[in-house]
Amino acid sequence: MRLFVGLGNPGAKYAHNRHNVGFMALDRIAADHGFAPWRRKFQGQVSEGRLGREKVILLKPETFMNLSGQSVGEAMRFYKLTPEDVMVFHDELDLAPRKIRVKFGGGHAGHNGLRSLHQHIGEAYGRVRIGIGHPGHKGRVSGYVLHDFARADADWLDDLMRGIEDGAPHLAEGDSAKFLNAIGLRMGPPPAAKKARKPKAEAEEPKVEAPDERTSMQKLMDKFK
């Protein structure tokens, strides 16, 4: 059994925030793979289903981001799971938009949701780090993550979510490489910057050699000079 956790804040006002991309990912997995309706449990919303050969519990904590670990710890104790059975989907400031990485263990890098998880279950859980980019200044981080995705992000975000849907069974079975490959197939290469066209080289005029006006005798004498 695996526990997939999406991090975010409850309520309609936060639904499309960058900070809620973990909730978005779980919603798409649940809808695409025919999971059971969401129900309240473990201080959050829970849905159950199967991904490939694995039974998976989806959990969206409703304790608000800073207390996410309370909900996750409660679910783990109920199902008798270890941190290695947990995969957390969350927003990542240190990755550019469109980028996604899978990581196991390590620090929380100041992310309040991960900080709470560290406190309640330790650091050995897996993470799906979904890049949202950085606003460029530490003082603007809070407003940035609690703001909706820009309209210009809609296309790549939808492709990313479709890729997560496609790859979720691989992730549940422990194959993060195939999971990321499925996302890559949906995303395609990033938009290439238009390269400035180099001016075509001007065609060189053909060289025309002057006709040889020497007589036969002069040509013969020149050979022996």
147 is known as an active-site residue: no
Question: Are 38 and 62 within 8 A, CB to CB?
Answer: no
Distance CA 156, CA 120 (A): 34
Distance CA 184, CA 102 (A): 13
Q: By three-state DSSP, how is residue 85 classified?
A: helix
Q: Which of 16, 19, 111, 147 is catalytic?
A: 19
Query: From the CB of residue 74, how many other CB atoms can be counted at a distance below 10 Å?
Result: 18
Under the phi-then-psi rule, with left for phi > 0, alpha for psi from -120 to 50, and beta for the rest, what region is 189? beta
Q: What are the residue numbers of the active site? A: 19
